[in-house]
């Protein structure tokens, strides 16, 4: 089982941007997405001394994204958020968070993210923004 934490605000996968160079259209990933994917990769490498899962293994991923609780809210609302009784419905969406994390780990934690056959993503509040990631073989 692989378990690690990415500190900081969770970021979703951004839509590709397009530009024209000498009459040819070129697609590129937004810098914010690239930076977050690099942070995910670096966090994995620093916290996990594991050999990546092999090609053909069936994997499950569990991603919990914790968003910063605003300083300006009431104590009552803060407590509800911190206790997991109030959830963030703001962007990024769960699927975009998963896409950024899973794409970042391609070739690092596993051969390809197509090996992920079971996926759970949660969005919660915390005083410490972060993303907690667990990847395991199916059946572990």
In this prediction the pTM is: 0.90
CA distances from 28 to 31, 53, 57, 120 (A): 9, 28, 30, 28
Cβ atoms of 113 and 106 closer than 8 Å: yes
Question: Per DSSP, what are the bridge partners of residue 6?
Answer: 131
The CATH number of the domain holding residue 49 is 3.30.1330.70
How far apart are the C-alpha atoms of 19 and 1, rounded to whole Å? Answer: 41
Question: Per DSSP, what are the bridge partners of residue 59?
Answer: 116, 137
pLDDT in tens, 11-48: 999 888 888 888 888 888 889 999 999 999 999 999 99
CA-angle at 23, arms to 20 and 25, nearest 5°: 40
Q: What is the 3-state secondary structure (H, E, C) of 61-74?
A: EEEEEEEECCCCCC
pLDDT in tens, 97-136: 999 999 999 999 999 999 999 999 999 999 999 999 999 9
Q: Containing domain of residue 51, as a range?
A: 2-137
Cβ atoms of 47 and 36 closer than 8 Å: no
Tally the residues of the chain: 140
How far apart are the C-alpha atoms of 1 and 57, rounded to whole Å? Answer: 13
How far apart are the C-alpha atoms of 34 and 28, rounded to whole Å? Answer: 10
* Number of domains observed in the structure of the chain: 1
């Amino acid at each position: 089982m692989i378990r690690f934490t990415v500190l900081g605000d969770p970021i979703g996968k951004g839509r590709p941007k397009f530009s024209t160079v000498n009459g040819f259209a070129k697609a590129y990933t937004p810098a914010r997405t690239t930076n977050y994917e690099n942070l995910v990769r670096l966090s994995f490498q620093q916290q996990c001394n594991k050999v990546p899962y092999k090609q053909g293994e069936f994997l499950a991923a569990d991603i919990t994204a914790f968003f910063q609780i605003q300083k300006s809210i009431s104590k009552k609302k803060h407590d509800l958020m911190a206790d997991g009784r109030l959830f963030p419905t703001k962007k990024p969406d769960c699927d975009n968070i998963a896409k950024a994390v899973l794409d970042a780990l391609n070739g690092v934690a596993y051969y390809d993210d197509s090996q992920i056959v079971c996926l759970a993503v949660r969005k919660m509040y915390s005083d410490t923004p972060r993303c907690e990631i667990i990847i395991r073989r199916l059946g572990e």
